[in-house]
Amino acid sequence: MSATDVLLECRDASRTFGGGPTAVVAVQGVNCRIRAGERMAITGASGSGKSTLLHLIAGLEEPTGGTVLRSGPFSAQDVGMIFQGPSLIPALTVAENVALPLVVGGASEETAHAAALAALRLTAIADLAEHLPEEISGGQGQRAAVARVLALAPRLILADEPTGRLDGVTGQRVLDTLLSAADATGAALVVTTHDPAIAARMTTRLAMHGGRLVDVQEEKS
């Protein structure tokens, strides 16, 4: 890739599941670029291919057609994924949940705990560090999920319907957290959403229909 600020580029990327008459073409011929510091929303109706495109970008799925090019080495720690629910481990405290991926990655308990607390401060829930997941709200749980990703210092944060289970106000607060965390760390952020109010907060908006990109809006900064 020539432009140095392009982290990742989909070139005619497609993903088909299954084969023969029952094959499902989830993503078809998508071209898009994600630049360093990007703020991107992927919108579209249910089944339009948003999650599959995000999985291609994350490297969780391989394209069955076209390519997904990554600039330079991209390790698992360079990409942080956030899902609709926080999926916290119930028996661990919030801080232990946030520290866990670092510990699994080989960091000492002490280093991981310090990184977890720093990430919880960034997401404004450091006061909940010693709480169990059952003792916090859905919005606070999503902020813990954001902190768990931030602790890994990813270059690219991918969030699949991160506000889908939250009410409008709480969803916007979680998005505030995501945007300010991405600003603070310099990470690019890509969010799939059904919610136009969430998409409106991003500077690039890709709209999907039937697996294809049907509209791209980019606000010039």
Ligand X SMILES: Nc1ncnc2c1ncn2[C@@H]1O[C@H](COP(=O)(O)OP(=O)(O)OP(=O)(O)O)[C@@H](O)[C@H]1O
Residues of the shown chain interacting with ligand X in the complex, contacts defined by CB under 6 A: 17, 24, 26, 44, 46-52
Q: Judged by CB, which is closer to ligand X: 86, or 133?
A: 86
Q: How far is the CB of 73 from ligand X (least distance, A)?
A: 27
Q: Is there a contact between 57 and 8 (Cβ–Cβ < 8 Å)?
A: yes
Q: Is there a contact between 6 and 34 (Cβ–Cβ < 8 Å)?
A: yes
Q: How far is the CB of 217 from ligand X (least distance, A)?
A: 18
Over its C-alpha atoms, the chain yields an Rg (Å, rounded) of: 17
Q: How far is the CB of 179 from ligand X (least distance, A)?
A: 21
Q: Judged by CB, which is closer to ligand X: 81, or 152?
A: 81
Residue 177's H or E segment, with its range, is: helix 168-185
Q: Judged by CB, which is closer to ligand X: 99, or 158?
A: 158
Q: How far is the CB of 160 from ligand X (least distance, A)?
A: 7
Distance from C-alpha of 28 to C-alpha of 7, rounded to nearest angstrom? 21
- φ and ψ at residue 165, rounded to 5 degrees: -105, 10
Q: Taking the mean position of all CA atoms in its chain, how far away is CA 117?
A: 21
Q: Judged by CB, which is closer to ligand X: 46, or 221?
A: 46
